[in-house]
Amino acid sequence: MIDADIKVLSTTSILYVNDSKESSQLFIEKLKSIFKNIHIANNEFEALKVYQEYKPNFIIADISMKRINVINFIKKIRQVDSKIQIALTYINDNLNEILKAVEFGLAKIILKPFTDLELKKLLKIFAHTYTEEKVYCIAPFWTFESNNYLIKGPRQTFFLTRKECTFLNMLFKENQTITYCEMKNYIWNDSQIQDNVLHTFIKNIRKKLPSKSLLNVPGIGYRIDS
């Protein structure tokens, strides 16, 4: 199954959520040569625990499971991670549930039993949308994980909103001062946004950063002192 299109997945991990041991074992056998790590969960609590601990790059879940509310699981994932690629497998009886899941942005929906060809198509979607994880050092023992919308400190992990992640990406990628005007245009897409909105935004994001790492350049904007 391995070809040039999906070789990039050899450095990534995937979470497979299914309450059938037989299906999970078959999945491992098919994909153990594709992914660096394969995590298996058979209920919602276990799936969320695995996601939080290992931060897999991709998720495949079977919406026909009896032991897990897949819609609720996806909703919880999307509350903290809007970018992770999620695919669902289903049977014809699950069409109503599939319609509910579509709004959460799925990479692919596969009718069971799916073929190796269908699986390969999904793997190509995963490979084409994957970008290597970008981790930036903010301060000793503090990192910003761009792909995962996370700031990790020595004692606590902070989840970032989309706007907060965009702001930090701008600071680290440009490695220079980001002006108030740039913040308004690129984060809010609104040059008329009120200054108090910016001030509240900065106040909130500073709570997730190490002390004195986000510096104000008076009259201009902000920069990172890392």
CATH code (residue 211): 1.10.10.10
Strand partners, 152: 143, 157
Q: How many CB atoms lie within 10 A of CB 215?
A: 11
Instruction: Tell me whether strands 150-152 and 108-111 are parallel, antiparallel or unpaired.
Output: unpaired
pLDDT of 1 = 46
Residue 133 is predicted with a pLDDT of 63
* Residue 63 sits in the same domain as residue 145: no
Structural domain harbouring 180: 135-224
**Whether 11 and 117 share a structural domain:** yes
Does one domain contain both 85 and 146? Answer: no
**Is residue 123 domain-shared with residue 139, that is, in the same domain?**
no
Same-domain status, 11 and 30? yes
pTM: 0.59
pLDDT at site 226: 61
Question: 38: number of CA atoms within 13 Å, CB side?
Answer: 18
Q: Of 70, 103, 129, which marks where a domain is finished?
A: 129
* 1 SS3 class: coil
Residues 20 and 123 in one domain: yes
Q: Is residue 63 located within the same domain as residue 123?
A: yes
Q: Which amino acid is at 155?
A: R
pLDDT in tens, 124-158: 999 887 766 678 889 889 999 887 889 999 999 99
Contact 24, 16 (CB under 8 A): yes
Q: How many domains in the chain? A: 2
One domain for residues 59 and 143: no
Beta bridge partners of 37: 13
pLDDT (0 to 100) of residue 4: 64
**For the packed helices 180-187 and 162-174, what is the interaxial angle rounded to 10 degrees?**
130
Answer left, alpha or beta for residue 105, where phi above 0 means left and psi between -120 and 50 means alpha: left
- Measured between alpha carbons, how far is 226 from 210 in angstroms, rounded to an integer? 10
CATH of the domain at 16: 3.40.50.2300
Residue 164 and residue 90 share a domain:
no
Can you list the residues of the chain whose pLDDT is less than 70? 1-4, 67, 94, 131-133, 174, 226
Residue whose pair of structure tokens reads 């897999």 in the numeric block: 56
Residues 34 and 91 in one domain: yes
* Predicted pLDDT at 199: 93
For 95-115, the three-class secondary structure string (H helix, E strand, C coil) is HHHHHHHHHHCCCEEEECCCC
pLDDT of residue 45: 87
The crossing angle, in degrees rounded to 10, of helices 195-206 and 162-174 is 80
Give yes or no: residues 89 and 176 share one domain.
Answer: no
